[in-house]
Structure 1
Amino acid sequence: MVMNNFEHELQRQLDTLPKEKQPQRDLWKGIELSLEAENPAESRSGLHAKHIALAASFALVAMVSWFTFKPIEPQTHDSLTGQSLVTALSNQHQQQMNALLVKFEGQPAVTENWQQQLQELDSAANAIKAALEEDPDNTALLKMLQNVYQQQMMLVERVHAPKWQQI
C-alpha cells in the first residue's frame, strides 16, 4: 500500500516535468567550427602524438617498475619452492606490515576492533601455513595465503586512511 502511494506520487511529479529541455545557447556553431577546424592531416598527427605519448608513459611505468622491484630473497622466484616460498612470503609480508604500521602510527583508527580483525586474519594465515606444511607446493593454498596477507594490508590501510578521508 505504501509502495503504491509512492509510485503514484512519483508518477505525478514526473508528469509535472517539462517534456523537452532546450539548450541555453545555440550549440551548432561550436560543432560546425570544430568540424571545419579538423583537418585530416592534423587529426592523423594528433593521433600519432597520442600514440607516442601513450607508448612513452608505458615505457616509463615499465622502467620504474623494473628498477624498483625488490626480490623477496637474493634467490630468484623460480628457485623458491615449497616451504622456502612460504617463509619468503611470510617474511616479505611481515616487513610490509611493519612499514605500514609505522606509516600510520599516531593516526586514529576509524574502528575499534580492527586489531581483533587483524588477529583473525592472522589465525587464518597460520591455518593455511599449517596446511602448506603438508602440501608445500599447493598453488591454491599459496594464493589463499597471499590473499589473506593482502586483506591484512587493506584492513590496516582502510581503518587508518579510509577513502572518504582522501582527496
Structure 2
Amino acid sequence: MSERTHNPMHDSGDAALRLALRGLRQARDPGSDLWPGIEARIRALPQASTPLEPRRRWPWPVAIAASMLLSAGLAWQMRPVDAPVALPAAETRIATTLVQREASTLTVQYQAALRELEFQPAPANWQPGLEVLDRSAAEIRSALQQNPDSRLLLERLRETYTRRLALSRRALYA
C-alpha cells in the first residue's frame, strides 16, 4: 500500500491546472500612463532656493599638523641615548642580591639534578662534551662574581645548565 498507484483522474487534474496557469501569462497594458502623476508630485515638492554651502576644508590642515606632530614624536623617540640612568645604590644592591640569589639557587638545583643522573657513569666518548659544558658553567659563575648584577650571565648560566643536564640524560640512554 506504500506504493503510489496510477490515478487517471489525478493526471487530468494536473493537465487542467497547467492550462489554467498558461492562461495567466497574458500580457496586459496598464489602464493609464503613470508618469504624469509621478511628474506632478515631483514638481510639487519644495525646491531648495539657496545653493548648498561649499564644504569646509578643515581636515587638511588638521591632517598636516597631526603628521608633523607624529614625525616630531618619532624623531624624539629615536634620538640617541647619551648615558644610561644609574640606579640608586639601594636598588642596585637589591638587584645584585636578586641576581646572585637566583644564580646560587640555580646552581643548587643543577647540582641536585646532576647527582640524580650520575648514578651510572657516562660513556667515555661523551666525556669531552660534558667537560666543556662544566668548564663553561664555571667560567660563567666566575664572571658573575666579577659582574654580579648581569642578567645576561644569569641567562647564559641557566642555558649551560640546561644543556649539560640534557646531554647527561642522553648519555644515560646511549
Choose between structure 1 and 2: higher helix proportion: 1
Shorter-chain TM range is 0.3 to 0.5
TM-score calculated relative to the size of structure 2:
0.41
TM-score calculated relative to the size of structure 1:
0.42
Name which one, 1 or 2, has greater alpha-carbon Rg: 2
